[in-house]
Copies of this chain bind each other. A is one copy, B any other.
Amino acid sequence: MNETFNTKGTARAAVPSPLIESNRVEGTAVFDPSGKHIGSIKRLVIEKMSGRVVYTVASFGGFLGLGGNDYTIPWNKLTYDVSLGGYQTDITESQLKGSPPFSQDPGWDYADREHERALNDYYDAPYYWR
């Protein structure tokens, strides 16, 4: 898995890179606290001005029996784990199922601050804005 992150067809030393290209984040695994593979990242949601990743859209379908829905979750609910080669989260299946519907809506309007407030409140995540 590390090789996938570190090289792009080259044969350099397999030192784990702290960096990853956005087009390679898609598909990165998400694990639960016990290290079980529960989903994967589909895309990142970035604050344009600062360049900070504030949310991720992740797919948990097929792992939790959630029917393949995508869920928008606050970025800080994910922790990158080098040994797992992916992100770990403490979000539970029931939390995902009960999350605000717009977080599963591919047409979600990111300009709606009230929606964002509800999402961050739901996951007890700090607002990324002032």
List chain A positions with a Cβ less than 8 A from chain B.
5-10, 12-13, 15-23, 25-26, 43-49, 51-55, 57, 75, 80, 106-112, 129
Among B7, B19, B111, contact of A54 (Cβ-Cβ < 8 Å): B19
- Asked if residues A45 and B57 are in contact (CB atoms below 8 Å), the reply is no
Copies held by the complex: 2
Lowest 9 A-B CB distances belong to which pairs?
Answer: A51-B53, A10-B107, A17-B111, A19-B110, A22-B44, A15-B111, A17-B110, A22-B22, A48-B80
Using CB atoms, name the residue of chain B closest to A129: B18
Contacts of A129 in B (CB 8 A): 18
Given the complex, which residues of B lie within 8 Å of A109, measured CB to CB? Answer: 6-7, 10, 12, 17
Partner of A22, one of B13, B45, B110: B45
Q: How far is B44's CA from A21's CA once the two chains are assembled, in angstroms?
A: 6
Residues of B within 8 A of A10 (CB): 107, 109
Residue pair B111, A16 in contact (C-beta under 8 Å)? yes
